[in-house]
Structure formats: C-alpha cells, structure tokens
Structure 1
Amino acid sequence: MTDCGVTIIEEFSRAPKRVIEGFEGLATANIADVMGRFRAMDFTIKSMNKLGVHLVGSALTIRVHPTDNLMVHKAMDLAKPGDVLVIDAFGGNENAIVGELICQYAKIKGISGIVTNSPIRDVYAINKLEFPVYAKGATPRGPLKEGSGEVNTTISCGMVPVHPGDIIVGDDDGIVVIPKEAAETVLEKTRHIQEKEQFVIENMMKTGKWERAWVDEVLCQKGYFSLQNNE
C-alpha cells in the first residue's frame, strides 16, 4: 500500500533462520569490528533493560513522526516471530513512541525486541517483562495516533541505515545492524574473532603476560622511535 504520506510494505525477505540464530551470544563489539567499526548505532540508543540483555532478530522497519506511533501499531500486526521493530522517529525527544502495552503485545506475538531513536515510557513495567528495548531515554509524555508513516522501507536509526530484513544484534554495549546480504560472512568472521580473543584471555590468565609486539612496531612505523633504540 502506497499513498500520499503512507507506505506499507507487508512482505520482505529475511536471512536464513540458522544465520540469524548464529548471532545469539555474540558480542556487538566484535561484530562491529568485523564491519570496520561501522554499522554500530549511536551511543544515544541505549538498552532500557537490566544488564545482561541480548537481542537478535530481523529488522522490521518503521518510520513515524516524532510524536506519533500509529504505524508502530500497524507494524506489530505484520510482524512475525523473531522480528525486531526498528523505529525511526527522526530522533525526536518530545514523545514516547513505545510503552508497556506495545511491549506486552510484542512479546506475546514473539517479536524479539524494539529499537527506537525516540524516548519510551513505562520503563519499570517493561523491565519486569524482560523484553529487550533500546531507546534514547524515557518520558511520561505519550504519543498521538494520527499519522502518516512508513512500514518496511529503508530508514535511519542511530545514524545507521536499516533495511527490512537486516539482522539486528543488541547487548549492553548497544546495537549493530548487519546487512542481510553480508550476514553469513560477518557471522563466520565474528566467531573467529571471539575464539581468538578467548584464547588471548586464557593465555593471559595462564602466563600473566599479554604479548603485543605490534605496539612498538606501529610506533616505529610512525617515526616515534626505532626498535633498535628501544632494545
């Protein structure tokens, strides 16, 4: 459905389930490193849950006015289990776009979580639900339900482009967006990084040392000193 000010695309393709589930338990920091430190949402998009949250799912994208959440309600009707509602409210601070009722219904429907570049409300109740929500903060001022908007178009959230079907991963550090078409490669490389880091940590604990010859090599390359003078 496309009309003046309203676009609703009901279907979109998702990455294979095995690929999406493969990101469960992987750190957003390592995923971001694999993607060249890009596609990590701005630090203002924070977990509104207690520590230990982890979110994985397919992006169902929504664009709304900063004071209106009508299209969020429509998107929930279209969402499938495992989807993540990613809401672009133009970074507005005026109104909460998401609250307890939306989160309760989203959890019942099997939606994995919600990410928005706006405030939310009912933080205490949402925490008791143990439902992953990432937002800019909280305000008691609720939204209108008047508006135009878009569902399943390309949006921007946390200064990162998000396409329908991109894989969303969130933890206590924040949110990363993995392009659907690159997901398998990113997954494989992230697993390798985490295995490598675990080996480094285990070796550090065993020997009490962290061998990093590259530090002096980089300093030498930049002309700060020669390796010979450092010996």
Structure 2
Amino acid sequence: MSRHVVIADFERVGADVLKGLAEEGASTVHEADGRRGALRPELRAIQQGARIAGAAVTVSCHPGDNLMIHAAVETVRPGDVVVITTTSPCTDGMLGDLLATSLRAHGAIGVIMDAGVRDAAELQAMKFPVWTRAVSPQGTVKASPGSVNVPVVVCGQMINPGDAVIADDDGIVVIPRERAAAVLKAARKRTANEASKRERLAAGELGVDMYGLRPLLEKLGVEYR
C-alpha cells in the first residue's frame, strides 16, 4: 500500500456551524472548548482584520516542494481552510499568489501555512487570508510525493480533514469535527455572559468584586495599605 495518498471525500463541519464559529472568533472558541485546540503562536497572519472558520483540507508536503498543494486543489470545496505542513521544518516560500488564486477559485477561504509564503503583497492585495511561519523569496520545486487529507500535526495540535479551523488576529484554533456544534453553543453562551460583565465593568464595578476575588487575595496574604 502506498504511503502517499490523496483522499478526495471526507465529512466536514456544517456551514452553519462554521459561520457561527467565525462570528465568535478564535479566543472565545478556545475558551468555550475548555482552553483546548490553540495552535502555538508560531504562525502569524500576513494581514489584519481577517476572521475565518472553515473545514480543514490538510496537506503534508516535502520541505521546499509544493507539489502536493497543487494536488490538493481539486479536493477543496467552498468554505474550506487549507492547512499545509511539511515533514521537516521549512521556511521556503511554498505558496504565492498564483497558487492562492487557484485555491480560491475552488472555494478556499484561507490558508494555514506551517512553512513560508512568498508574494506577500499580492496575497494581501487579493485579500486572501494566510497565517504562515515565514515570508521568503526562496522558491520551491514540484518533485516529491506527500499526502492530502490525512491527519497532520501543526504547532502542537492534531488536525484531521474536516475539522473546524478558526483563525483571526488572535491566532488559530482547531475544533474536532464531532465537537464543533457543541463548542459553538458553549461559545455563544460565553459571549452572552461576557456582554453582561462588560456592562457591569463599564458602570464602574471592580473585577475583584464581580469575580469574588477579595477572599482569594486575603487567603494569599495580599494586604491593602
């Protein structure tokens, strides 16, 4: 059996759930899922203000080789986020505006790139959101096999094809597909609760009182003078 595969069909998180997760944002979703799923902050957005949530299309590439990204394009469906990693560390510019144009034409709404990108100005101009490890003029080849839509590990998190990936200015969070609807429900509840707290804080109430922290401060030996 080949060690390299392209899996075309897999189950995705529903579009309504993804829309709701995007509205809540990465930080709220992360808290709502018990502070799970946050990728380490090694990948940075090349733009500001983008907020996306999509089903993961995963790509495992040889470093310095973007062949499998091209192979992944035909598996992309509208609303997907393409998650790309390499089998060893890489900062080469493995994705540029031409490949991003191809991904977008098939419905991709953004890319999580655990390697480098090039053509950063063009990517920004076309408003195609990308979170990446590096921006580099170093080009790539198209020569080595890899796999598409297999489990990958990116910045400490396992990502399976079809999982929900939420990304914005705060960072990137992954939610397993089977948990996504429940996490959205919890995130909406958290947002409603925070709205009430925001009103109380805006009215002048102290956080130490609202959260009942005075007994804890006393227990920890903190003295007011």
1:17 is matched with 15
1:212 is matched with 210
2:53 is matched with 56
Cα offset for 1:91?
Answer: 5.8
Partners of 1:90 and 1:45 lie apart in 2 by 16
RMSD: 2.0
SS at match of 2:22: coil
1:173 is matched with 170
SS at match of 1:76: helix
Partners of 2:203 and 2:217 lie apart in 1 by 28
2:221 is matched with 225
Cα offset for 1:133?
Answer: 0.6
Cα offset for 1:77?
Answer: 1.4
Cα offset for 1:213?
Answer: 4.1
Partners of 2:199 and 2:128 lie apart in 1 by 33
SS at match of 1:7: coil
4+ residue stretches of structure 1 with deviation over 3 A? 207-214, 217-220
1:151 matches 2:148: yes
1:185 matches 2:194: no
Partners of 1:205 and 1:16 lie apart in 2 by 37
User: Any residues of structure 2 matched to 1:80-159 within 5 Å, and which?
Assistant: 80-90=77-87, 92-159=89-156
Contact 2:64–2:140 (8 Å) recurs in 1: yes
Partners of 1:134 and 1:56 lie apart in 2 by 13
Give me the identity figure in percent: 27
Q: TM-score, normalised by structure 1?
A: 0.90
Q: Residues 181 and 217 from structure 1, CA distance in 2 versus in 1: closer, same or farther, beyond 3 angstroms?
A: farther
Partners of 2:53 and 2:13 lie apart in 1 by 12
Structure 2 alignment gaps of length 5 or more? none
Render the CA deviation track for 1:142-193: whole Å, top value 9, x for unaligned. Answer: 1111111111110011211000100011110111001100011100111111
Structure 1 alignment gaps of length 5 or more? none
